[in-house]
Structure 1
Amino acid sequence: MAINQVQTRAGPVEAEVTGTGIPILILHGSPGGIDAARTMSHFLDKHVFQCICLSRPGYLNTSLSRTHRSIDDEADLVAALLDALQIPRVGVLAWSGGGGVAYQLAARHPQRVFAMVAIAAVSKAWIAPKTPLAERVMFGTKFGAKVVDFMSAKVPEHVVQGALEGEGSLRGEELETLAKQVMEDPAQRQVVLEMASTVNVGGPRKEGWLNDVKNFAAIKSLGLEQVQCPVLLVHGDADTDAVPSYSEDAHARLPLSILVMMPRGTHLCFYAHPQAREVQAQATKFFWDHAQRP
């Protein structure tokens, strides 16, 4: 079943449901959109898992309410989406900025989430770093978006290496080795290139990005201690976008969690790393195992 716009009691949401089987809700990062959620779901077998992809509030075609703009509000909106789709319980796959709403969904609506895989997920206050002018042009304007798309088509190796460099502390030979490995793996290359086209903070993603930045800076608690479902935390120890302490602190506070720290992994390590397939298989089994439990 494919859906573009779902009407919920809390407002319309750009969403689609693909595949059959165990329902997995995909929560993209910041910035992002339904396109980023689709890319996140590539590793899930659509004959085994039903993927619910959406654009979070303020991204692409999910409007941001004038009055209900908090992370709590977003969690309630997601619950309303599940109601509209008549899906009682889901596994949650959240990456980076999607972590806040994932934790709040599980804390506020515990009966709706049977398990969570949280990748480099925000679990406490996050302050957006200041970006150089060149980056603001490349990832904040229509011109920059066109340049990224052109480079992805003509010189994808530069886009891949630039993404890995920008999302971690790898440099020199270590960075070049990982970039080469990613370029030689069709699935990993595809994810990095697709993600590069979803991280522009301007245009139809601007409102969501600015709201996320404001909300993340003001985080006091995401109710991690109230999360009843098991959580698989995945993080790279070379991540500079969301530093490893986000998952380490979450692991210490969550009642049921497993922490997987990927060596020399960047913010993209779940999808672009020598151990990516192994950890993806672990995540798949995690969802499968916990979906079978009452």
Structure 2
Amino acid sequence: MSTPNSSNGHYAPINGLQLYYELHGNGRPLVLLHGGGSTIESTFGRILPVLARTHRVIAVELQAHGHTLDIDRPLSFEQDADDVAALLDHLQIGQADIMGFSNGGTTCLQIAIRHPQLVHKLVPASATFRRDGMPPGFFEGFSHVSLDDMPPLLKEAYLKANPDPKGLQRMFDRDVARMKAFKDIGDAAIKTIQAPVLVLNGDAEVVLAEHALALSRTLPHARLAILPGGHGDYIGEICTPYENNPTPSLVTAMIDSFLNT
């Protein structure tokens, strides 16, 4: 078993997992869900401290990611959504704001669909809900990838949380299999989401800006912000060149304003 990387880290027995989460700050609960192949730190390391100034942040590492070890059961966005719902129940939190980046953004949508009573406001960032939201050939490309193709910074972040190369390979294999099997979330399901939503996306990234626009127009109560840069640049994700880039500070203020009004 890996150990928490700070005094803020905890484990909860959730649906057969020892699910790792961190608590930061005070205020209305805000759940943060990392991207595929990622950890809390690699996705949200730059903006989490700022968000924690005005929120009680619950940052989660989902099945097979970071401190949370894999178990013998399917990995899916729906299962991740159910795990987050069970964690909120474990923490006796009846409703929370929820933000997810990339794969975490898709999980964010599934939480709102499957557990609408838990969601106060939603921030899906670079979230995919249909296969046509990605460039042609994107999903087919997962048939020809190996761990060598994974960004080194993401490998290092995983091994910092859990220094087990077999766990790293397992996470990679799990995420690849999930993306190869990705199925569209139907418009009818998206339209059931009644919470206010702030959709975020980059203008030059793997998730097409047109897809973010389509998501915002399918959701009943959504606003849209398209930011300059690539995948995760606007939140300072670990693989992006964000030194001296003011955009993450701007986006954090935008998120904070949306959640608090």
Does TM-score exceed 0.5, indicating one fold? yes
Equivalent residue, structure 2, for 1:178: none
Question: Deviation digits for residues 52-109 of structure 1, max 9, x if unmatched?
Answer: 1111111123233423422211111110011111111111111111112110001110
Equivalent residue, structure 1, for 2:162: none
Equivalent residue, structure 2, for 1:163: none
Question: Which residues of 2 match residues 115-154 of structure 1 at below 5 A?
Answer: 115-125=121-131, 127=139, 129=141, 137=148, 139=150, 145=152
The answer (yes or no) to whether the contact 2:147–2:172 under 8 Å persists in 1 is: no
Equivalent residue, structure 2, for 1:52: 58
> 2: CA distance between counterparts of 1:136 and 1:207?
10
TM-score (norm 1): 0.69
> 2: CA distance between counterparts of 1:139 and 1:41?
23
> 2: CA distance between counterparts of 1:10 and 1:105?
19
Equivalent residue, structure 2, for 1:73: 79
Question: Post-superposition shift, 1:15?
Answer: 1.0
Structure 1 unaligned spans of 5+: 149-194, 290-294
Equivalent residue, structure 2, for 1:198: 157
Pair 1:199–1:225, CA change in 2 (3 A): farther
Deviates more, 1:221-230 or 1:269-278: 269-278
Pair 1:225–1:210, CA change in 2 (3 A): farther
> 2: CA distance between counterparts of 1:28 and 1:39?
10
Q: What secondary structure, in the 3-state scheme, does the structure 1 residue paired with 2:234 have?
A: coil
Equivalent residue, structure 2, for 1:268: 232
Deviates more, 1:210-219 or 1:102-111: 210-219
> 2: CA distance between counterparts of 1:246 and 1:198?
29
Question: Post-superposition shift, 1:5?
Answer: 1.2
The answer (yes or no) to whether the contact 1:58–1:206 under 8 Å persists in 2 is: no
Question: Deviation digits for residues 221-254 of structure 1, max 9, x if unmatched?
Answer: 1632221211111111111x32223312211211
> 2: CA distance between counterparts of 1:117 and 1:203?
33
> 1: CA distance between counterparts of 2:74 and 2:142?
27
State which of 102, 111, 119 in structure 2 corresponds to 1:113: 119
Structure 2 unaligned spans of 5+: 1-6, 160-164, 236-241
Q: What secondary structure, in the 3-state scheme, does the structure 1 residue paired with 2:129 have?
A: coil
State which of 249, 252, 255 in structure 2 corresponds to 1:280: 252
Question: Which residues of 2 match residues 1-294 of structure 1 at below 5 A?
Answer: 2-39=8-45, 41-42=47-48, 44-125=50-131, 127=139, 129=141, 137=148, 139=150, 145=152, 197-198=156-157, 203-217=166-180, 218-221=182-185, 223-239=189-205, 241-263=206-228, 265-271=229-235, 272=242, 273-289=245-261
TM-score (norm 2): 0.77
Q: What secondary structure, in the 3-state scheme, does the structure 1 residue paired with 2:69 have?
A: coil
The answer (yes or no) to whether the contact 1:44–1:284 under 8 Å persists in 2 is: no
The answer (yes or no) to whether the contact 1:251–1:259 under 8 Å persists in 2 is: yes
> 1: CA distance between counterparts of 2:27 and 2:223?
24
> 1: CA distance between counterparts of 2:118 and 2:66?
25
Q: What secondary structure, in the 3-state scheme, does the structure 2 residue paired with 1:285 have?
A: helix
Amino acid at match of 1:204: G
Higher gyration radius (CA):
1
Over the residues paired in the alignment, what is the CA RMSD in angstroms? 2.9
Pair 1:122–1:270, CA change in 2 (3 A): same
Deviates more, 1:26-35 or 1:119-128: 119-128
> 2: CA distance between counterparts of 1:210 and 1:277?
34
Pair 1:269–1:237, CA change in 2 (3 A): same
Deviates more, 1:54-63 or 1:219-228: 219-228
Pair 1:88–1:66, CA change in 2 (3 A): same
Aligned residues: 233
